[in-house]
Chains A and B, each alone.
Chain A
Amino acid sequence: MKSRLSDAVLHLALLGWGLVVTLPLVWAVLSSLKTDAEIFASPWSLPAEPQWDNWVRAWQEASIGRYLLNTVIVVGGALVLVMLLGSLTAYCLARYEFPGNRAIYYALVAGMLFPVFLALVPLFFVVDRLGMLGTYHGLILVYAAYALPFTVFFLHAFFRGLPTSVSEAAFIDGCSHTAAFFKVMLPMARSGMVSVGIFNFLGLWNQYLLPLVLNPDPDRYVLAQGLAALAVSQGYSSDFSGLFAGLIIAILPVLFAYVLFQRQIRSGLTAGAVR
């Protein structure tokens, strides 16, 4: 009996945090369906009549759909690129002895510690001289470059931990170095790849500063830029319901992806972190 009672207390605590997490989101959904007058009247009232028009306005006038597509292109491209290059680099550094190995490793890891602010304006120049300002591939390359240090740092330890016997066997079977990597080592590092992939995805999805400077064309805005612009421009036109609707539209695809893949997302993440 005693343990049943304390179980109830535990559930209460857990439900409490669940409420803390969900309440703001539910509230935002409700607000996105209210009129501006209702929003200003009371935070708790339900919308008298759902104002779907707010969503239409956010989608059309604030081009949330376009921002979403831009984000998917840029983050997707950068993710593929950084996973390929990062795993190759980490593998080479972890499994091969050669002069400069440690120097390269530390140079890469140091990159994790630099505040991106520091590089902003010089970076603009580099990108501009390559003719990549405001282009998808420009952003993809920059995103990948800035995600590289963490990817290498993370996978380096992973490849170190894999048994050497396996790759030895692969070489005896006549595998080339390239084939040994792609056919043998990479599959073995799968759980690490998934974890770092998720880490990278979150980091890139959240990127705010880099696109702010390197992606000046409103047509190519990524979601974070689009939302910040929305917050300012809806602020100027006092369209709060439209702003909430824009927020919800921006959240929804992430929510769907999460509901569908939550097990993979969380298990991949934990597999890597508790390595």
Chain B
Amino acid sequence: MTPRPSHARINPTRRTLLGGATAAGAAGLLSGCVTAGGSDESDEATGAVTEANPLGVPEGTDLEVVMFNGGYGEAYTQHAAEVYEGLHPEATVDHQGIQRVGETLQPRFVAGEPPDVVDNTGAGRLDIAQLAASDQLHDLTELLDAPSLDDPAVPVRDTLLPGVVEDGTLDGAVRFLNYSSVVWGIWYSTSLFDANGWTYPDTWDDMLALCEEIKQSGIAPWTWQGKYPEYMVDPLQAMAAKSGGIDLVKAVDNLEPDAWRQDAVLAAAEAVHRLVTDGHIMEGSEALSHTEAQNSWNNGEAAFIPCGSWLEGEQQEVSPEGFDMVMAPVPDLTASDAMPFGALQGTSSESFLVPSQAANTRGGLDYLRCLFSTEVARGFAETAKALPVVLGATEGVEMTSGLASVADAVGSAGEHIFGYKYRLWYAPLAKAVDDATGELLTGRLDPEEWGDRIQAAADEVADDDSVTKYQR
């Protein structure tokens, strides 16, 4: 691992030390030097633009990549680093896989010394809306227009799944590109279900009936990742959206009055609450971390668990042989839902961005060009067991049961893939929703109280002038 250029000044002379100290001390006291240094855009280092180097990367300049090393691992970003080093033999890539990206990088953004590429993902990530509003993100449009690594005739833009560019657009500019296509659903083991003759229910009433049956067999019907209530928010809000349609989603995201008290929202909360009142949730789930809950489920202690499409990759080390997990869309809430059964809550995740103040922004862009190549994306599908956003990347990849079920679900959902934006736009509201849902799932709140509590939090955000508002 090579030190970053900005860290090369390891041995300052006594003079610079004292000079720096006085300057920092005095200026800091008077003018708040914290805020003084952040905004100057560093002069962009560039190299000659050639066919082999369409983004004009300065040769011989090193690159620093900081990525979130979570459920998908870091094999794919390392792979991209190798490809990059192949393109630029004089450069070295300093690749760091970390957790809690925000805590590590926030001060570096403030100091104007961010890395060249960041994968801003996972718990404790940076607030990307704030980053964009603070002018910290390089516009990725020129990357999208650059020729792709696989076929110089096709620009990068045309190699991506629809929606990816839109997901990364904030205030009219492309600020980040997500790497993984994520959909949410409910997971179960096909081998367990086949052995018991159970079939996945189409409606929530069928779900409750099946739960009774599962309980008879001595298995808990459901478990969930109680320590992080967000996991249960997803099936709840997915059912609400399927039942109420996209207008319901927009009302929620636009902070409309009583959006959280819409009938379909409360009906979805009531549906989930039935799991509690009917005793369908594995005892103690509310205190389990995601890994503990998922392991219990993998051990056959519970039949269903809500999760995004990354679950198979996350569990691949511990999942027993022949478990054959698959993901299904949430059941219909009513017989007259606005969206078809196959509709999915989905988005893209693993947000890659190039900081505008990075030392080597050209290199950062070119690294992303490598990352979004078919070769790297295929490796991602194989090692991370997840769908990359690069078109055709899974062709020829031997798919496991989970990945295949996710691919099928995405295929049959077609245009009916929806997503909520409030989590991205209003982090404090997301926390209120998580907290209330945690209470709903332990039976300490009923659906009415749940709706009231979240609505109050939403109104608070809506009334707060200091919060930047978005509309969709």
Contact = CB atoms under 8 A, between A and B. Distances in A.
Interface in A99-136: 120-122, 124-126, 128-135
Contact of B96 (A121, A213, A218): A218
Contact of B34 (A36, A121, A132, A236): A121
B103 interface: yes
Contact of B23 (A121, A129, A132): A129
Q: Which of the listed residues A217, A219, A239 has the most CB atoms from chain B within 10 Å of its own CB?
A: A217
6 contacts: A36-B318, A125-B37, A130-B21, A131-B10, A229-B99, A238-B294
A129 B24 contact: yes
Contacts of A237: 317
A216 B98 CA distance: 9
Interface string B367-399: 000000000000000000000000000000000
Assign chain B's interface to a size class: 35 or more
Interface of A: 36, 40, 120-122, 124-126, 128-135, 212-213, 216-219, 229, 232-233, 235-240
Nearest to A130: B20
Interface string B1-28: 1010011011010001100110111001
A235 B289 contact: yes
B40 to A, nearest CB: 14
A125 B34 contact: yes
Interface in B409-464: none
A135 B10 contact: yes
Interface in B231-268: none
B66 to A, nearest CB: 9
Given A121-B107, A125-B34, A129-B24, A239 B100 contact: no
Given A124-B110, A125-B107, A232-B99, 6 more contacts: A129-B20, A130-B20, A217-B1, A217-B3, A229-B99, A238-B291
Interface string B64-78: 000001110000000
Nearest to A216: B104
- Interface majority SS on B: helix, strand, loop or mixed? helix
A130 B12 contact: yes
Given A121-B34, A129-B24, A236 B107 contact: no
A31 to B, nearest CB: 14
Contact of B111 (A124, A135, A218, A232): A124
Contacts of B12: 130-132
A155 B237 CA distance: 60
Interface of B: 1, 3, 6-7, 9-10, 12, 16-17, 20-21, 23-25, 28, 33-34, 37, 69-71, 96, 98-100, 103-108, 110-111, 113, 123, 289-291, 294-296, 299, 314-315, 317-318
A141 B350 CA distance: 37
A73 B21 CA distance: 24
B7 A235 contact: no
Given A122-B34, A124-B111, A232-B99, A130 B289 contact: no
A212 B103 CA distance: 7
B111 A40 contact: no
A131 B100 CA distance: 24
A40 B34 contact: no
Contacts of B100: 232
A236 B28 contact: no
B2 to A, nearest CB: 11
Contacts of B111: 124-125, 128
Given A238-B295, A238-B318, A233 B20 contact: no
Contacts of A122: 28, 33-34
A132 B70 CA distance: 29
B23 to A, nearest CB: 7
A122 B110 CA distance: 10
B359 to A, nearest CB: 14
A219 B96 CA distance: 10
